[in-house]
């Protein structure tokens, strides 16, 4: 098996196809551990992992914690509300203090794009970006790619539609980077106010109609609409948004008959996705994504710790 | 003290002069210029063969941080940085703490500057009290105290009626009004130029129209009220076009740009390096081309570096929290000389943009080497190659994205009123 020649996982943008494949294959091999009665292997015994979360998160933080624990690492969770952030300590000082306690990996979630890059340049530990502002969310894109590959057997040549607030979505960016590297065709759709400028230069097709984007899609990825965006006047109301950008029983017929439906969670039922689609095992793979998320994060922790040395 | 500057190539756009002549300085004034001046008794003779002598450079847009933010810069350290960069005069923006919105702050700045006794420091007064965009300051009183222009730099005047009244009132006093053009609703939350790179990096963008909307608005006010407006740090192609059109229609519009706007693009930000974070933000290569064109055809009158010194603690934070600005006084000339090396500007145009035009815009009796004028003189070694090292900056602000950059051409001697305030000939 190849080794991951990286200190940090900051984004999919910097990853090669070989690295993505290595991570996905490693994750696939870890899937089985989570099905055992004793869900634990000694692989990372004696390693310490700090989950430093400056933004609220249930799914991602729990997923990283479980991933660490299943590999026997010691995981420590720090969330902004309990840390020295409230005392006004800078990210750099927090990081240097944590560094002095000698952990092996720091998993960082931060509302500021680029925060993990700052941290990575300062501390010797491996940094995993667990989401930085609207920039990247690499472990999410990896688990998405793993899920697509699991259901479709491949990534190359698939048509993937990503629908919603592309402008503010780190999930969209990481998936655009990853899926385009892996040879998928990507169409993004959302209200014009949620389309980042020059998005086509990222190698995607962009449109403003959900119907156009999902037609003949193999994969439909719905993004969470952030309710507070309404205040910025980028969309008039949830009602109108739901009328035009909610994936439902009717419009999903435009996608391929065997299309899968994804969502990074947490979902706003009835806003971007209708409950019957979200809960339909025939097309929804939302919980498979969560399951694969643990395996992907196990793979990242394992590979950053030196892989199979 | 008498000084004879011998054998240099003298470039003085104010006299359309580019010749090898000697300059004699007596009692702080230029007492004569001529092909061969004999040294009077007791005169110090400085041989400047291979050097270029120009009217003392003027940077009309700097931040000296004092009073209130002395941890970033003081009037003394900022003036020292000015003369080290070849500048004999600087105009300092009012966004200190407290804001320079009244006579006592203006007088304080002038006193500190005269104690420092390096560059000429010209305070710019605030347009509105506290630069809050509400109540006009006492322009008349400020002018009498020594203010040479008005601006709410960094806090653009969003209220068009206030801007109109400020321009009318200031116009009657012949005080130039300088606007930092930014529609703060369009730029709200923005951290970098809106475009491909902000999309890639997931950083909120500042669209070019945030600048252009106010450039356009203020040009309209200038036309309607028949007053002057000076546009600070032009960063977009659209602004250049608006200003060019306004000038062609004979309006009293002047403009400046900063070296980073013709040197760097938003692509530089891709590693989230906060030393590139400035406001207005670094734009695109097309904008650089337009700014170069604007400088070459005179649409942009002046180069001013927007010297914005910051402490490490202001910059070594997450990108969103990092302060805007570059400590620019010690790299401005070197970066601007690139325009000459690349054939974009002639020497004459460069020196006009860095000395004569700022003097004209600010109504200063400077920017010339005519007989009888103040002996503010910059001596440039055009061939010296050097590498920027922020550790050697005289400014307290070491925040520069140009650290490590190779430059050609440097100020080696800076004379203010006939006194040598900086001598870098040994470097």
Contacts of A91 in chain B (CB under 8 A): 317-318
| Of B196, B202, B313, Cβ closest to residue A113 | B202
**CATH fourth-level superfamily of B2-53+374-394+403-423:** Urease, subunit C, domain 1 (2.30.40.10)
Hey, what are A97's tokens?
A: 């203090």
In which residue are the tokens 């930085």 written?
Answer: A132
Instruction: Please give the backbone phi and psi of residue A77, each rounded to the nearest 5 degrees, phi first.
Output: -105, 130
Give CA–CA dist A230/A234, Å, rounded: 6
Taking CB atoms and an 8 Å limit, are B320 and A110 in contact across chains? no
Hey, what are B59's tokens?
A: 């940077």
| Of A117, A118, A197, Cβ closest to residue B199 | A197
Contacts of B207 in chain A (CB under 8 A): 197
DSSP state of A167: T
Hey, what are A108's tokens?
A: 């960082």
Q: How confident is the model at residue A306 (pLDDT cuts 50, 70, 90)?
A: confident
Is A21 strand, coil or helix? helix
Taking CB atoms and an 8 Å limit, are B318 and A115 in contact across chains? yes
Cα–Cα distances (Å) from B423 to A59, B80, B354, in that order, read 63, 11, 20
Contacts of B321 in chain A (CB under 8 A): 112
Contacts of A117 in chain B (CB under 8 A): 271-272
Cα–Cα distances (Å) from B232 to A198, B165, B388, in that order, read 28, 19, 26
Contacts of A199 in chain B (CB under 8 A): 199
Residues found in chain A: 309
Residue-level pLDDT at A86: 59
DSSP state of A284: B
List B residues 157-196 in contact with A (Cβ-Cβ < 8 A): 194-196
Residue-level pLDDT at A87: 66
Give CA–CA dist B43/B392, Å, rounded: 32
Residue A196 C-alpha, separation from nearest chain B C-alpha, in angstroms: 6
Taking CB atoms and an 8 Å limit, are B203 and A13 in contact across chains? no
Residue-level pLDDT at A81: 65
Q: Do domains B2-53+374-394+403-423 and B55-361 have the same CATH topology?
A: no
Region of B146 on the Ramachandran plot (φ > 0 left; ψ -120 to 50 alpha; else beta):
left
Q: Which of A113, A119, A195 would best serve as a mutation to test chain B binding (most B beta carbons within 10 A)?
A: A113
Contacts of A201 in chain B (CB under 8 A): 196, 199
Residue-level pLDDT at A225: 92
Interchain CB contacts (distance < 8 Å): A and B? 66
Query: Is B162 exposed, middle or buried, given 0-12, 13-18 or 19+ CB atoms closer than 10 A?
Result: middle
Give CA–CA dist A96/A98, Å, rounded: 5
Sign of CA dihedral A170, A173, A175, A178: negative
Residue B146 C-alpha, separation from nearest chain A C-alpha, in angstroms: 40
Among candidate residues B383, B266, B256, the one with its CA nearest the CA of residue B332: B256
Residue-level pLDDT at B50: 95
Mean residue pLDDT of chain B comes to 97
- Put simply, whether B71 touches A (Cβ < 8 Å) is no
Query: Is B314 tagged catalytic?
Result: no
Hey, what are A163's tokens?
A: 């629908």
Torsion of CA B93, B96, B98, B100, to 10 degrees: -10
Q: Assess whether the previous peptide bond of A104 is cis (omega < 30° from 0).
A: no
For residue range B213-225, what is the model confidence (pLDDT) as tens digits? 999 999 999 999 9
Residue-level pLDDT at A180: 98
Give CA–CA dist B167/B157, Å, rounded: 11
> Do residues B169 and B140 touch, judged by C-beta distance below 8 A?
no
Contacts of A13 in chain B (CB under 8 A): 200
* Buried b or exposed e, range B394-412, using 16+ CB within 10 angstroms: bbbbbbbbbeebebebbbb
Taking CB atoms and an 8 Å limit, are A198 and B201 in contact across chains? no
Residue-level pLDDT at A37: 93
Is A79 strand, coil or helix? strand
Report the Cα–Cα distance between both ends of chain B, in Å, rounded. 25
- Put simply, whether B367 touches A (Cβ < 8 Å) is no
Give CA–CA dist B161/B165, Å, rounded: 6
Taking CB atoms and an 8 Å limit, are A134 and B316 in contact across chains? no
Q: How confident is the model at residue A309 (pLDDT cuts 50, 70, 90)?
A: very low
Per-residue 3-state assignment (H helix, E strand, C coil) for chain B: CEEEEEEEEEEEHHHCEEEEEEEEEECCEEEEEECCCCCCCCEEEEECCCCEEEECEEEEEECCCCCCCCCCCCHHHHHHHHHHCCEEEEEECCCCCCCCCCHHHHHHHHHHHHHHCCCEEEEEECCEHHHCCCCECCHHHHHHHCCCEEECCCCCCCCHHHHHHHHHHHHHCCCCEEECCCCCCCCCCCCEECCHHHHHHCCCEECHHHHHHHHHHHHHHHHHHCCCEEECCCCCHHHHHHHHHHHHCCCCEEEEECHHHHCCCHHHHHHCCHHHCCCCCCCCHHHHHHHHHHHHCCCCCEECCCECCCCHHHHCCCHHHCCCCECCCCCHHHHHHHHHHCCCCCHHHHHHHHHHHHHHHCCCCCCCCCCCCECCEEEEEEEEEEECCHHHCCCCCCCCCCCCCEEEEEEEEEEECCEEEEECCCC
> Do residues B148 and B123 touch, judged by C-beta distance below 8 A?
yes
Q: How confident is the model at residue A84 (pLDDT cuts 50, 70, 90)?
A: low
The yes-or-no verdict on residue A277 having pLDDT over 90 is yes
The helix (H) or strand (E) run that includes residue A295 is helix A286-304
Residue-level pLDDT at A1: 53
The yes-or-no verdict on residue B169 having pLDDT over 80 is yes
Residue B127 C-alpha, separation from nearest chain A C-alpha, in angstroms: 30
Q: How confident is the model at residue A79 (pLDDT cuts 50, 70, 90)?
A: confident
> Do residues A30 and A298 touch, judged by C-beta distance below 8 A?
yes
Mean residue pLDDT of chain A comes to 94
Instruction: Locate the DSSP E strands across A81-228.
Output: 105-110, 126-132, 159-163, 185-189, 205-207, 219-222
- ipTM for the complex shown: 0.93
Residue-level pLDDT at A83: 54
| Of B202, B313, B317, Cβ closest to residue A91 | B317
For residue range A24-75, what is the model confidence (pLDDT) as tens digits? 999 999 999 999 999 999 999 999 999 999 998 889 999 999 999 999 999 9
Among candidate residues B291, B321, B306, B333, the one with its CA nearest the CA of residue B180: B306
| Of A114, A133, A196, Cβ closest to residue B199 | A196
The yes-or-no verdict on residue A172 having pLDDT over 90 is yes
Beta strands at B2-12 and B17-26: parallel, antiparallel or unpaired: antiparallel
Is A105 strand, coil or helix? strand
Taking CB atoms and an 8 Å limit, are A114 and B204 in contact across chains? no
Query: Is B427 exposed, middle or buried, given 0-12, 13-18 or 19+ CB atoms closer than 10 A?
Result: exposed
Residue A238 C-alpha, separation from nearest chain B C-alpha, in angstroms: 23
Residues found in chain B: 427
Catalytic residue among B306, B314, B376, B381: B306
| Of B196, B202, B205, Cβ closest to residue A135 | B202
For residue range A186-200, what is the model confidence (pLDDT) as tens digits? 999 999 999 999 999
Residue A193 C-alpha, separation from nearest chain B C-alpha, in angstroms: 13
For residue range B6-63, what is the model confidence (pLDDT) as tens digits? 999 999 999 999 999 999 999 999 999 999 999 999 999 999 999 999 999 999 999 9
The yes-or-no verdict on residue A308 having pLDDT over 70 is no
> Do residues A175 and A143 touch, judged by C-beta distance below 8 A?
no
- Put simply, whether B271 touches A (Cβ < 8 Å) is yes
Among candidate residues A118, A82, A76, the one with its CA nearest the CA of residue A101: A76
> Do residues A195 and A213 touch, judged by C-beta distance below 8 A?
no
Taking CB atoms and an 8 Å limit, are A112 and B194 in contact across chains? no
Q: Which of B189, B202, B266, B277 would best serve as a mutation to test chain A binding (most A beta carbons within 10 A)?
A: B202
Give CA–CA dist B68/B70, Å, rounded: 6
Counting other chains too, the contacts that A202-205 makes at CB distance below 8 Å and 24 or more residues apart are: A202/A176, A202/A177, A202/B196, A202/B199, A202/B200, A203/A176, A204/A176, A204/A180
Q: Does domain B55-361 have CATH number 1.10.460.10?
A: no
| Of A91, A136, A201, Cβ closest to residue B202 | A136
Query: Is A122 exposed, middle or buried, given 0-12, 13-18 or 19+ CB atoms closer than 10 A?
Result: middle
Chain A interface residues (partner B, CB cutoff 8 A): 13, 90-92, 110-115, 117-118, 132-136, 170, 173, 196-199, 201-202
> Do residues B92 and B423 touch, judged by C-beta distance below 8 A?
no
Residue A73 C-alpha, separation from nearest chain B C-alpha, in angstroms: 29
Give CA–CA dist B391/B389, Å, rounded: 5
Q: Where are the domains of chain B?
A: 2-53+374-394+403-423, 55-361
The yes-or-no verdict on residue B1 having pLDDT over 90 is no
> Do residues B299 and B244 touch, judged by C-beta distance below 8 A?
yes
For residue range A88-143, what is the model confidence (pLDDT) as tens digits? 788 889 889 999 999 999 999 999 999 999 999 999 999 999 999 999 999 999 99
For residue range B227-236, what is the model confidence (pLDDT) as tens digits? 999 999 999 9
């Amino acid at each position: 098996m190849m080794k991951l020649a990286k200190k940090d996982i900051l984004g999919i943008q910097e990853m090669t196809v070989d690295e993505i494949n290595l991570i996905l294959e490693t994750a696939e091999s870890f899937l089985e551990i989570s099905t055992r009665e004793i869900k634990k292997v000694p692989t990372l015994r004696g390693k310490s992992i700090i989950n430093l979360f400056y933004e609220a998160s249930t799914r991602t933080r729990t997923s990283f914690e479980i991933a660490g624990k299943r590999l026997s690492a010691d995981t420590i969770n720090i969330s902004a509300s309990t840390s020295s952030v409230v005392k006004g300590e800078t990210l750099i000082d927090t990081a240097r203090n944590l560094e002095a306690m000698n952990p092996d990996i720091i998993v960082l979630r931060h509302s500021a794009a680029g925060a993990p890059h700052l941290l990575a340049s300062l501390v010797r530990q491996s940094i995993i970006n667990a989401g930085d502002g609207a920039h990247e969310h690499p472990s999410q894109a990896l688990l998405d790619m793993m899920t697509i590959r699991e259901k479709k057997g491949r990534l190359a040549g698939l048509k993937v539609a990503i629908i919603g607030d592309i402008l503010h979505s780190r999930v969209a960016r990481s998936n655009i980077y990853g899926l385009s590297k892996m040879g998928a065709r990507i169409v993004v759709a959302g209200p014009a106010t949620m389309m980042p400028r020059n998005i086509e230069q990222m190698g995607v097709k962009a449109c403003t109609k959900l119907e156009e984007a999902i037609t003949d899609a193999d994969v439909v990825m719905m993004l969470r609409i952030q309710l507070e965006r309404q205040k910025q006047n980028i969309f008039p109301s949830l009602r109108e948004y739901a009328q035009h950008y909610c994936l439902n029983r009717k419009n999903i017929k435009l996608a391929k008959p065997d299309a899968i439906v994804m969502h990074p969670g947490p979902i706003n039922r009835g806003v971007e996705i209708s409950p019957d689609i979200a809960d339909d095992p025939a097309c929804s793979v939302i919980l498979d994504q969560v399951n694969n998320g643990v395996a992907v994060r196990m793979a990242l922790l394992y590979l950053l710790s030196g892989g199979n040395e | 003290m008498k000084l004879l500057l011998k054998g240099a190539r003298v470039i003085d756009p104010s006299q359309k002069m580019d010749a090898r002549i000697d300059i004699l300085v007596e009692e702080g004034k230029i007492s004569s210029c001529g092909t061969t001046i004999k040294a009077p008794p007791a005169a110090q003779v400085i041989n400047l063969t291979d050097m270029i002598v120009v009217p003392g450079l003027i940077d009309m847009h700097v931040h000296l941080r004092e009073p209130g933010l002395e941890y970033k810069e003081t009037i003394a350290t900022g003036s020292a940085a000015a003369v080290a960069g070849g500048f004999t005069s600087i105009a300092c923006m009012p966004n200190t703490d407290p804001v320079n919105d009244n006579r006592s702050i203006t007088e304080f700045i002038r006193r500190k500057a005269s104690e420092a006794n390096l560059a000429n420091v010209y305070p710019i007064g605030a347009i509105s009290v506290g630069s809050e965009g509400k109540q006009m300051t006492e322009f008349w009183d400020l002018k009498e105290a020594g203010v040479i222009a008005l601006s709410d730099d960094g806090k653009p005047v969003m209220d068009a009626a206030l801007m109109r009244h400020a321009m009318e009132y200031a116009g009657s006093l012949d005080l130039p009004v300088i606007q930092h053009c930014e529609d703060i609703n369009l730029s709200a939350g923005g951290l970098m130029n809106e475009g491909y790179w902000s999309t890639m990096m997931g950083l909120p963008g500042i669209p070019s129209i945030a600048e252009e909307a106010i450039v356009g608005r203020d040009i309209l006010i200038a036309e309607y009220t028949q007053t002057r407006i000076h546009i600070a740090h032009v960063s977009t192609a659209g602004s250049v076009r608006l200003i060019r059109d306004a000038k062609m229609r004979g309006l009293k519009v002047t403009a400046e740009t900063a070296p980073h706007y013709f040197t760097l693009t938003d692509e530089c930000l891709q590693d989230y390096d906060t030393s590139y974070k400035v406001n207005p933000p670094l734009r695109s290569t097309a904008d650089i081309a337009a700014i170069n064109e604007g400088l070459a055809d005179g649409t942009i009158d002046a180069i001013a570096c927007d010297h914005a010194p910051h402490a490490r603690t202001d910059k070594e934070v997450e990108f969103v929290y990092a302060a805007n600005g570059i400590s620019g006084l010690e790299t401005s000339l070197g970066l601007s000389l690139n325009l000459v090396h690349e054939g974009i500007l002639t020497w004459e145009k460069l020196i006009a943009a860095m000395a004569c035009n700022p003097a004209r815009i600010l109504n200063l009796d400077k920017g010339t080497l005519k007989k009888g004028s103040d002996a503010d003189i910059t001596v440039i070694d055009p061939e010296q190659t050097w590498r920027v090292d922020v550790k050697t900056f005289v400014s307290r602000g070491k925040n520069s994205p140009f650290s490590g950059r190779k430059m050609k051409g440097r100020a080696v001697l800076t004379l203010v009123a006939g006194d040598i305030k900086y001598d870098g000939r040994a470097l």
